[in-house]
Amino acid sequence: MKRPELLAPAGDLEKLRTAIHYGADAVYLGDSRFSLRGKAGNFGPAELGDAIRFARDHGAKAYVTMNIFPHNRDIPGIAEHIDLLKEARPDAVILSDPGVFSMVRERAPELGIHISTQANITNLQAVKFWERLGARRLVLSRELSLDEIRDIRSNSSLELETFVHGSICISYSGRCYISSFLTARSANQGACTNSCRWNYRLMEEKRPGEYFPVFEDERGTYLMSSKDLCMIEHLADLAAAGVDSFKIEGRMKGINYVAGVVKTYREAVDAIGSEIAYNVKERWLAELRMFSSRGYTTGMFFGKQPDAGYNFDGESYRMSHELVGVVLDVQDGLARVGLRNRVDKQDRVGYLSPGLEGRLFEISTMKDSTGADISSARNEDIVYVNIPDGIRPYDLIRREKSFRELSDKE
C-alpha cells in the first residue's frame, strides 16, 4: 500500500524545524496577512523564502497558505505576495477563493495549487470543477465519510488530502461566523478569537442581568466546542480509501505538541503497508494523550456518532507532560540545552528521541554556560546536562507535569 504524505503545521521557523526533525514529509506555512492563522507566529515576506529553502534543503516540501476570503482591499497585497512566491518557489499554494486561484494561474502558472478545506469540497462535481481548472490537490471537506472519499478517489486522479489530527471548528469546514459577530474579527480572514471555545451562560429576555449556567455536570458544557480529531487508529483505512496526504492541524500549538504528534504519526504512517495488518501501538495512544486536547473523536469519517462523540465535555485541556527544553548541541556525553522551564539537578526527565520512549533519566550533571556546576536553572537559560546515548540536536526534553507541581509544593 502506498504510504501517504505526512503534512505538519509550521507556525514559525522553530515549529517548521521541529516538524521536519521529527519526520514530516511536508509542512504548511503562511504569511499572517493571507492565511487563516493570523495569530500564529507565521512568516514575513523575507522569512518565507528562507523557510521554503530550509524545508527543501532538508528533504521536505513546503506549501504556502493563501486561504483567506479576501476583500477588494486585500487584492493588491495578494498580487505582490504571488510575485514573491514565484521567486521563492514553494511546492504548492493552498487557497480557496476562485479569484485568488485565477491570480495565481495568471501571475505564477508554474506553482502547484491545492484547494483548501474552506472550499467545502463534498461531491464529485466539485472535484471535477477544480480538476478542469488545473488544481493539483484537494483538501477534502471534514464532513466527508470514508465511503464518500472512496467514491471520489475512484473517479478522480487528483491528489486528495484530509485532516487526521487536531482541533475541529463547529462550522462548515472552518467557515465560522461567530467570531465576526461577537468581536468583529473574522475567522475567514485569519483573526479567529476561538469564540466557540468560550463557556456560555443563558439570559432570559425579561430577566436582564440574571445569568443562568448551561451545564450537564459540575464542570458545565461547551455547546459549540468540539473534541479534537484523532485518526491514529484508522490511518490504514484512510490510505486504502485513496487519501494521498495526512494533515495535522496546529499552527497555533507549541513545539511540544508539534514534535510529539508528528513523531507519533510518522511511526504510524511508516507502519502502513509494512505489515499484513495495521497494528496500532499502545505507545502511540499514550503519546497523544500527553498533549493538550479536548478529548478525541473520529469526526465524520464513520458517519454520525452519538452526541457524546463530538462535544468537548468542559474539562480543562488534558496535558500530562510539559516541555523542559530543546537540545541545541551534543558533545562528549553532554547536551547544550535551551531551557523552556525550570529544571533542577536530580530531576528525572524524558527525551523525545527514537528508542527512548517512556524512559526517564536523572539529571546528575548540570553546568552553566561558563562550565560552572549549578543545581537549578530557569526558562531561557542555556545549560549543559548529562544525556543518555541516542540524543540528537533538536530533540525535546520533557517531564510529567505532576512531578514539578509536587516539587514546587514541597
> Domain residue spans in the chain?
5-173+225-309, 321-409
pLDDT, position 208? 84
pLDDT, position 33? 82
What CA–CA distance (Å, rounded) separates 274 from 236? Answer: 11
Look up the CATH number of domain 5-173+225-309: 3.20.20.70
What are the start-end ranges of the E strands in 232-367? 245-248, 296-297, 321-331, 334-339, 343-344, 348-351, 361-362, 366-367
Cβ atoms 225, 310 nearer than 8 A: no
* Architecture of the domain made up of 321-409: Beta Barrel (2.40)
Residues 6+ apart with CB under 8 A from 187: 36, 169, 171, 174, 175, 176, 177, 178, 179, 180, 193
pLDDT, position 316? 46
Residue 86 cell numbers, joined: 514565484
pLDDT, position 85? 96
pLDDT, position 252? 76
pLDDT, position 317? 53
Burial of residue 232 (CB within 10 Å: 0-12, 13-18, 19+) is: buried
Q: Are strands 245-248 and 211-213 parallel, antiparallel or unpaired?
A: unpaired
pLDDT, position 315? 53
Residue 81 cell numbers, joined: 505576495
Encode the chain (410 residues) as per-residue pLDDT tens digits: 678 999 999 989 999 999 999 999 999 998 878 766 555 556 888 889 999 999 999 999 999 999 888 899 999 999 999 999 999 999 999 999 999 999 999 999 999 999 999 898 999 999 999 999 999 999 999 889 999 999 999 999 999 999 999 988 766 666 675 666 567 676 666 677 777 777 777 777 788 887 766 655 444 455 566 788 999 999 999 999 999 999 999 877 899 999 999 999 999 999 997 655 678 889 999 899 887 777 888 988 987 665 555 555 555 456 678 999 999 999 989 999 999 999 999 999 999 999 999 899 999 999 999 999 999 999 999 999 999 999 999 999 999 876 444 444 43
What CA–CA distance (Å, rounded) separates 349 from 333? Answer: 16
Crossing angle of the two packed helices 98-107 and 75-88, in degrees rounded to 10: 40
Burial of residue 35 (CB within 10 Å: 0-12, 13-18, 19+) is: buried
pLDDT, position 150? 97
